[in-house]
Amino acid sequence: MAPATVPALALHQRIRSDIEAKILSGEWGPGHRIPFEHELMAQYGCARMTVNKVIAGLAAAGLIERRRRAGSFVAQPRIQSAVLQIPDIPQEVTGRGAEYGYELIFRRRRRTGPRDPLASELPAGTDVLDLRCRHLADGKPFALEDRLIALAVVPEAAETDFSTVPPGSWLLGHVPWTEAEHRISAVGASLREARELELPRGAPCLCLERRTWRGADTITYARQLFRGDHYNLAARFSPQG
């Protein structure tokens, strides 16, 4: 079938899907220039209006940024945090010279409901993988993690063996994201948390809540609770960021 006879909507979806695949796979990294509109028009045999709609949609999703007279480029992942990017926990533990350990406490597939954290912003009825795990440093509790993974966005998570690999590490290595948000607070350990972290009830802990997106879709929500006597945050930065 000649390109000119392909329905505009179907062609628009195809072009966007092709570009998204290159960005989310890492083939086109941050800063890579997207082909100019006239190049895409020639490649797909379509009108400028169709290409412009694709570029506008990708920009609205945060995947690309448009620069006047320069073209469109793959956007840098945005971190919505005034503090710093939190590293992967296994790397954090080994970076301190300790031996990392991991335990999966429970795993279940379910639908979200009213008892789920409001901070997850996942609508009620969302199909998720619900995980709870414990991170260890030299055999001692280092952090607890509760995580929800949206299976509509990451269906392969349902078949992954999280009894041997931490969910955060797996997601960072397998699932591209476009935006993230961290919320940091100080809390007292609940009775269950104190027992699992081997702390007195009410002991101070550092709570990190993380949410990541791919475009408009939430990939995952995590709540990580660190022992206050074993963990601190430090960052060195300049006024330029």
pLDDT digits (tens, 9 = 90+) for 75-134: 876 544 444 455 689 988 888 888 999 999 999 999 999 999 988 999 999 999 999 999
Residue-wise pLDDT for 155-198, tens only, equals 999 999 999 999 999 998 888 888 888 888 889 999 999 999 99
Query: What are the residue ranges of CATH 3.40.1410.10 in the chain?
Result: 79-227
Query: What are the residue ranges of CATH 1.10.10.10 in the chain?
Result: 3-76
Pick the CATH number of 79-227 from 3.40.1410.10, 3.20.20.140, 3.90.400.10, 1.10.10.10: 3.40.1410.10
Domain spanning 3-76 has what CATH number? 1.10.10.10
Q: Is 34 left (phi over 0), alpha (psi -120 to 50) or beta?
A: beta
Q: How many whole angstroms separate alpha carbon 169 and alpha carbon 86?
A: 12
| Those residues with Cβ within 8 angstroms of residue 64's Cβ, 6 or more apart along the chain or in another chain | 23, 34, 55, 58, 72, 73, 74, 75
Mean pLDDT lowest for which of 10-14, 111-115, 140-144, 202-206?
10-14
